[in-house]
Structure 1
Amino acid sequence: MYQRTIAPTATVPDVAVLLAERRIGAVLVIDHEEQMLGIVSERDIVRCLAANGARMLEMTAGQLMTRAVQVANPGTTVNEAMQLMTVGRFRHLPVIDHGTLIGLISIGDVVKARIMQQDTVVESLTAYVAGSA
Structure 2
Amino acid sequence: MPSSFQAPKRGDKAKETTHSQSLISNTAQENATVRKLIDHKGRSVFSITPDDTLSTAVKVLADKHIGALLVTDADGALVGILSERDIVRKLAATPGQTLPQTVAENMTKNVQTCSLDDQLVDVLKTMTDGRFRHIPVLEDGKLCGMLTIGDVVNYRLLELEYEAMQLKQMIVG
* Alignment RMSD (CA, Å): 1.0
Matched, 1:110 2:152: yes
Sequence identity percentage: 38
Who is 1:120 aligned against?
A: 162
Q: Structure 1: any 5+ residue segments left out of the alignment?
A: none
Who is 2:129 aligned against?
A: 87
Who is 2:23 aligned against?
A: none
Q: Structure 2: any 5+ residue segments left out of the alignment?
A: 1-43
Contact 2:45 2:146 in 1 (8 A): no
2:139 and 2:117 mapped to 1: Cα distance?
A: 9
Q: How many pairs were matched up?
A: 130
What letter corresponds to residue 89 of structure 1 in structure 2? R
Moved more, 96-105 or 52-61: 52-61
Higher relative contact order (CA 8 A, sep 6+): 2
1:66 and 1:104 mapped to 2: Cα distance?
A: 15
What letter corresponds to residue 71 of structure 1 in structure 2? T
Who is 2:117 aligned against?
A: 75
**1:57 match: secondary structure:** coil
Who is 1:54 aligned against?
A: 96
2:76 and 2:64 mapped to 1: Cα distance?
A: 20
Pick one of 73, 90, 103 that aligns with 1:31: 73
1:29 and 1:60 mapped to 2: Cα distance?
A: 11
1:78 and 1:68 mapped to 2: Cα distance?
A: 21
Residues 1-58 of structure 1, C-alpha deviation per residue, up to 9 Å, x if partnerless? x541111111101000000001100000000100000000000001111112222122
**Given the two structures, how large is their TM-score scaled by the length of structure 1?**
0.94
**2:146 match: secondary structure:** strand
Q: Where do 4+ consecutive residues of structure 1 move more than 2 Å? A: none
Larger helix fraction of residues: 1
Who is 1:130 aligned against?
A: 172
